[in-house]
Amino acid sequence: MLRQILDAEIMYFLDNSAFFPLNKTYIVTHSGPSAPGGARAEILEFLNVDVPVGHLLDFTITGISITALYLHTCIVTISSPQNSFPLFANGDTFIRGRVDKTGKIDIF
């Protein structure tokens, strides 16, 4: 899911010269609520990615575009609700990925 969102961000950047959401953070929780309201629908509309709910995962997408500084990046985090349980054997409660304006993806 993380890779799918990051790949969609690359496509969005190629069309818009900025990442989605522009200088904002969108959150979709495991139980369905989103911030801002309607974020899940906008992610589907603009990235063509349907963020799942009901799977005990929270999604956070932050798009950063500061043209004057040539800073363009998107950070996506998928986590257990409020980091309440590990997702991985090493105890990590989240996975995070970043894509920059060159299309370079880092997952950490």
Beta bridge partner(s), residue 78: 59, 95
Mean pLDDT of 57-66: 95
Q: What is the pLDDT of residues 67-90, one digit of tens each?
A: 877 799 999 999 999 999 999 999
pLDDT of residue 60 exceeding 80, the answer is yes
Mean pLDDT of 21-30: 96
pLDDT at residue 4, rounded to an integer: 98
Mean pLDDT of 5-25: 96
Mean pLDDT of 13-30: 96
Mean pLDDT of 47-58: 96
Q: What is the three-class DSSP state of 53?
A: coil
Sign of CA dihedral 2, 24, 42, 26: positive
Q: Where are the domains of the chain?
A: 2-107
pLDDT at residue 70, rounded to an integer: 79
